[in-house]
Structure 1
Amino acid sequence: MPTSISDLAKAKARALGFDAVGIARADEAWDAGGRLEEFVAAGRHGTMDWMETTLDRRKTPTGMWPEAKSAVVVALNYGPDHDPMETLSQRGAGNISVYARGRDYHDTLKSRLKQLAREFVAETGAEVKVFVDTAPLMEKPLAQKAGLGWQGKHTNLVSRELGSWFFLGVMLTAAELEPDPPEADRCGTCTNCLDICPTKAFPMPYQIDARRCISYLTIEHKGAIPHEFRAAMGNRIYGCDDCLAVCPWNKFAETAQEAAFHARAELKLPGLDELAALDDAAFREVFSGSPIKRIGRDRFVRNVCIAIGNSGEERLAASLVPLLADASALVRGAAVWALLQLDPDAASVAREKHLATEGDADVRQEWAAVT
């Protein structure tokens, strides 16, 4: 039986199926806020303007809720049943980050967190608030303080029990709970995650420049993908798992038990030509209930075009031609680049047809940049 409200919170979290739980003080000073300020000041957040506008609230948990005293941090395993690096060689198919191949984790995680909050409040009467990663709260430093893992050299959290594959959620409470000891850094001399990065997004260990990160480029970045990163993207059309997948601590990771996190069959190796043909309605239907839906059809098809251009498969050129006249200039520009990679002759013929009527300066520049 739980002997304290701290034990009670942990027992209830475990009973709800969370794979790990720890407690940290929410009202103590920490250096994570300073590191975030430096990250934003250096412009490494790219076009994620919300990181700057919410900086003051984001720097400390009490910035989100001044009354917060403790943080109950939970983890939910989404470990894959395969090696995520294997699909990178299937150049005619799109590679989707492991976490996005199943149902949207926000729904599953937040539902359990709310249930935890209800049960905790019913037992203790303490005020609580729950957060997943859509709120301006730094979960990873909190999770390290709570002993769930440590932020590795790739800045992601690593666990001795779960490896790299887990989601984080936080329940802040005004209750005074007994904190767990923080986890120590156990990366040692390993640099696998830094060495594998296709775009060299890590200026140094424990620092990331989001502007160079494929996850940022394919998900958060709204404009055209900079030319210098396109070839390195390969067939990655939503996110990138490379720095997670090569971590040696994954030898302890297990396949996710939660069915919602199991990969949908159609998202394991989706054909790039089929994805390129998606209009807005079809995109919404295919990705209903998926985190991919939030980036919208145009950004997604932009990513697909880049992957087609990197595929080396000339047969896929035909799927690009209709996109040269797409309603979205973002898609048109990516299709231009991709067609020129696969079939310069077809691109030359298409150029005469589409450039003459092309009113968008950015797409004209795309033609000019590669011809």
Structure 2
Amino acid sequence: MASLESRIHDEAAALGFAACGFARADAADAAGEELRGFIAEGRHGEMGWMEERLHHRVGVKALWPEARSVIALGLSYAPARDPRWLEAEPTRGRISVYAQGADYHKLVKQKLKALARWLVAEAPCEVKVFVDTAPVMEKPLAAAAGLGWQGKHTNLLSRSHGNWLFLGIIYTTLELEPSAPASAHCGSCTACIAACPTGAITAPHRIDARKCISYLTIEHPGPIPEAYRTAMGNRIYGCDDCLAACPWNRFAGAEQGHEKFRPRPELVAPQLADLLQLDDAGFRELFAGSPIKRIGRGRLVRNCLIAAGNSGDRALAPQVERLTRDPDPVVADAARWARERLR
């Protein structure tokens, strides 16, 4: 009879997971200590939730002492084309590849729960499943479980899937045989570091979130610091530049991307002119079922105004002018900046 680990692999593949591996519960404890330094230096910016749950995030057993093993899983969202093609379309907003389709939190968790139910039936145990929103070190755990290695941009990188993997984690009380950790294959390449528009990758494997466009457009609640507004270009939700620059992506065929993550046509290259017209109701309708919905209308329109100011398109000036009177002071601030840029 095949080993339990082999059967878990097979069941994960049947559910659509592109990668599966196993690690001991203490396999990523060193990364937890590195996280303490990241927080102590303030590089997490205003992501207070990281600091609040740091005591749980630093290790698997810190969150659940009964855990013995970790199952790490990856679901591919490999794009059909290089997402940087929109650099040449300044009047269109650039949305990070992962957010152009269905909300990955729901789909990945649904599949994790299905695998967990199967596992409990096969080998009675206790399990907990996690997708991104819990205090879990997904990337170091996935690296320990052999799914790939953390590249110089700190994201998980795979020889088979490039950087395009959504990660899910299952904690279990089972003692599973660990997978061999993947060795790093970045070599002397620094393409991801050179690609960062704001210099947020300050050294190999070292990120300052306060400079990162993904952080600024999604997590940062206030006005975008003026030092980074021009560098944002037309990025209105996230940034894929360090990911897209990685040479390993040439092995990540677009056919590997899960069908539910196929881009919604209206989110591939939306016109800034259309997005600047959104009120709260229009925002909720357009982004229903999308991870973008969680940032709210104010942050998205703020980001679109920065992009409008960078576009050089005077046709956007009337909409920008109208938004200088927006009741949201952060939106109004971005509109005044965009107005001056367009002048």
Please tell me the TM-score bracket, short chain as reference: over 0.9
Q: Deviations over 1:336-358 (max 9, x none)?
A: 00011002xxxxxxxxxxxxxxx
Find the counterpart in structure 1 of residue 334 from structure 2: 334
Find the counterpart in structure 2 of residue 182 from structure 1: 181
Counterpart of 1:13 in 2: which secondary structure? helix
Counterpart of 1:6 in 2: which secondary structure? helix
Residues 69 and 174 of structure 1 are in contact (CA less than 8 Å); yes or no, is this contact kept in structure 2? Answer: yes
Residues 9 and 72 of structure 1 are in contact (CA less than 8 Å); yes or no, is this contact kept in structure 2? Answer: no
Residues 102 and 262 of structure 1 are in contact (CA less than 8 Å); yes or no, is this contact kept in structure 2? Answer: yes
| Corresponding position: 1:320 with 2:332 | no
Find the counterpart in structure 1 of residue 261 from structure 2: 261
Find the counterpart in structure 2 of residue 300 from structure 1: 300
Q: Deviations over 1:289-348 (max 9, x none)?
A: 0000000000110000000000011111111121111111110000000011002xxxxx
Find the counterpart in structure 1 of residue 8 from structure 2: 9
Shift of 1:5: 2.0
Shift of 1:28: 4.5
Q: For residues 221 and 28 of structure 2, what CA distance do their matches in structure 1 show?
A: 35
Unaligned runs of 5+ in 2: none
User: Which range moved further: 29-38 or 274-283?
Assistant: 29-38
Change in 2 beyond 3 A, CA 1:257/1:32: closer
Counterpart of 2:324 in 1: which secondary structure? helix
Residues 101 and 260 of structure 2 are in contact (CA less than 8 Å); yes or no, is this contact kept in structure 1? Answer: yes
| Corresponding position: 1:103 with 2:102 | yes
TM-score, normalised via structure 1 length: 0.91
In the alignment, residue 140 of structure 2 is paired with which amino acid?
P
Residues 27 and 68 of structure 1 are in contact (CA less than 8 Å); yes or no, is this contact kept in structure 2? Answer: no
Q: For residues 25 and 71 of structure 2, what CA distance do their matches in structure 1 show?
A: 9
Find the counterpart in structure 1 of residue 226 from structure 2: 227
Q: For residues 312 and 220 of structure 1, what CA distance do their matches in structure 2 show?
A: 26
Structure number with higher relative contact order (C-alpha < 8 Å, ≥ 6 residues apart): 2
Q: For residues 189 and 81 of structure 2, what CA distance do their matches in structure 1 show?
A: 23
In the alignment, residue 108 of structure 2 is paired with which amino acid?
L
Find the counterpart in structure 1 of residue 65 from structure 2: 66
Q: Deviations over 1:72-100 (max 9, x none)?
A: 10000001111111112210000000000
Q: For residues 43 and 168 of structure 1, what CA distance do their matches in structure 2 show?
A: 25
Q: For residues 311 and 171 of structure 1, what CA distance do their matches in structure 2 show?
A: 44
Q: Deviations over 1:85-138 (max 9, x none)?
A: 111221000000000000101111000000000010011111111000000000
Q: For residues 278 and 257 of structure 1, what CA distance do their matches in structure 2 show?
A: 30
Residues 93 and 272 of structure 2 are in contact (CA less than 8 Å); yes or no, is this contact kept in structure 1? Answer: yes
Q: For residues 206 and 200 of structure 1, what CA distance do their matches in structure 2 show?
A: 13
Counterpart of 1:203 in 2: which secondary structure? strand
Counterpart of 1:12 in 2: which secondary structure? helix
Residues 211 and 217 of structure 1 are in contact (CA less than 8 Å); yes or no, is this contact kept in structure 2? Answer: yes
In the alignment, residue 45 of structure 1 is paired with which amino acid?
H
Structure 2 counterparts to residues 1-371 of structure 1, below 5 A: 3-28=2-27, 30-255=29-254, 256-343=256-343
Q: Deviations over 1:27-62 (max 9, x none)?
A: 346310111001000000000011111111000011
Change in 2 beyond 3 A, CA 1:289/1:312: same
Q: For residues 232 and 295 of structure 2, what CA distance do their matches in structure 1 show?
A: 17
Residues 27 and 144 of structure 2 are in contact (CA less than 8 Å); yes or no, is this contact kept in structure 1? Answer: no
Q: For residues 77 and 272 of structure 2, what CA distance do their matches in structure 1 show?
A: 25
Q: For residues 221 and 319 of structure 2, what CA distance do their matches in structure 1 show?
A: 23
Alpha carbon RMSD of aligned pairs, Å? 0.9
In the alignment, residue 21 of structure 2 is paired with which amino acid?
G
In the alignment, residue 119 of structure 1 is paired with which amino acid?
W
Residues 28 and 141 of structure 2 are in contact (CA less than 8 Å); yes or no, is this contact kept in structure 1? Answer: no
In the alignment, residue 166 of structure 2 is paired with which amino acid?
F
Residues 29 and 58 of structure 2 are in contact (CA less than 8 Å); yes or no, is this contact kept in structure 1? Answer: no
Residues 109 and 132 of structure 1 are in contact (CA less than 8 Å); yes or no, is this contact kept in structure 2? Answer: yes
User: Which range moved further: 264-273 or 26-35?
Assistant: 26-35
State the structure with more CA Rg.
1
Shift of 1:4: 2.1
Unaligned runs of 5+ in 1: 344-371
Change in 2 beyond 3 A, CA 1:303/1:109: same
Find the counterpart in structure 2 of residue 369 from structure 1: none
Residues 27 and 141 of structure 2 are in contact (CA less than 8 Å); yes or no, is this contact kept in structure 1? Answer: no
Counterpart of 1:107 in 2: which secondary structure? helix
Find the counterpart in structure 2 of residue 355 from structure 1: none
